[in-house]
């Protein structure tokens, strides 16, 4: 039997399951140039169910009652890509650091020269070794669903280790019960039940874990706080 190139190449899911960082980074490098334009395009699948706008709105609602705490501490954006999320929220914090494994994404983010923000090439699984401790660690773009059951809890554990006492995370994920409602339903990513994600956060050492977003949503958010 002859193998076609696609037969012999590991699938994106396998790349995440086996944490093949160079391959994952190369894939995101190829998307960097177009990333901001895609997110600005309402018809792009990234905006299905207004996932990007809803993340920012829900994040603003989380920050509001924690204004003073946020102003006194930094924020880390895990898997920051071109820095769009940090650009929106860094002013609510003392400083911001974006971490991404894609050199092209980091280059584009750095070129924006955002005040009080810096962007570092690095792996979120090594977050606490790369960054000073922060008041919040954010991640938008369903990183949990990319890394799936096998690595999700470890990712959350690393995020918790990067927090000051009383810190919190807001991370989005693909929502199992909303799956049938949308056109774009990638087979290579993990859809979670919100209760599973809350369980992962508690297992990763968070004191509280809540999920935000209605059951029919394509993407929901995890809000977890540490002691
Ligand atoms: C869906 S994009 C999200 C981009 C960004 N958060 C936004 O909202 O525009 C996922 C990003 O995570 C990055 N990424 C994937 N695995 C990573 C890891 N282990 N450490 C750091 N970044 C990672 C990718 O390079 C990519 O830029």
For the CA of 52, the closest atom of ligand 1 is: 8
Which CATH architecture describes the domain 9-225?
3-Layer(aba) Sandwich (3.40)
Provide the 3-class DSSP secondary structure of residue 35. helix
Q: What pLDDT is recorded for position 108?
A: 98
| In the chain, domain spans | 9-225
Q: Is the CB of 224 under 6 A from ligand 1?
A: no
Q: What pLDDT is recorded for position 4?
A: 45
What pLDDT tens digit does each residue of the chain (227 aa) get?
Answer: 444 444 468 888 999 999 999 999 999 999 999 999 999 898 888 888 899 999 999 999 999 999 999 999 999 999 999 999 999 999 999 999 999 999 999 999 999 999 999 999 999 999 989 999 999 999 999 999 999 999 999 999 999 999 999 999 999 999 999 998 887 788 889 999 999 999 999 999 999 999 999 999 999 999 999 99
Q: Which two tokens stand for residue 104?
A: 């092209």
Q: What pLDDT is recorded for position 180?
A: 85
| Phi, psi angle pair for 220, to nearest 5° | -120, 170
Q: What pLDDT is recorded for position 12?
A: 87
Rounded CA separation 139/80 (Å): 7
CA 30 from centre of chain: 19
**Under 8 Å between Cβ of 113 and 98:** no
Strand-strand pairing, 163-175 and 219-225: antiparallel
Q: Whose CA is nearest to atom 8 of ligand 1?
A: 140
């Amino acid at each position: 039997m002859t193998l076609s190139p696609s037969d012999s190449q590991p699938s994106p899911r396998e790349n995440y399951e086996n944490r093949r960082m160079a391959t994952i980074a190369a894939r995101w490098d190829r998307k960097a140039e177009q990333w901001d334009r895609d997110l600005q395009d309402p018809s792009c699948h990234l905006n299905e169910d207004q996932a990007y706008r809803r993340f920012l709105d829900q994040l603003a609602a989380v920050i509001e009652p924690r204004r003073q705490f946020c102003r006194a501490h930094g924020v880390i954006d895990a898997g920051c890509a071109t820095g769009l999320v940090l650009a929106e929220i860094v002013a609510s914090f003392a400083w911001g650091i974006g971490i991404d494994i894609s050199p092209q994404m980091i280059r584009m983010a750095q070129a924006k020269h955002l005040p009080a923000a810096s962007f570092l090439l690095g792996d979120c699984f090594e977050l606490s070794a790369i960054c000073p401790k922060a008041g919040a660690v954010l991640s938008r773009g369903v990183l949990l669903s990319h890394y799936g059951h096998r690595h999700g809890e470890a990712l959350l554990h690393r995020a918790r280790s990067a927090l000051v006492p009383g810190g919190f995370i807001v991370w989005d994920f693909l929502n199992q019960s909303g799956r049938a409602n949308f056109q774009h339903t990638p087979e290579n990513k993990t859809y979670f039940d919100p209760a599973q994600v809350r369980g992962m956060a508690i297992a990763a050492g968070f004191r509280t874990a809540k999920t935000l977003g209605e059951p029919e949503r394509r993407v929901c958010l995890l809000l977890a706080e540490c002691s």
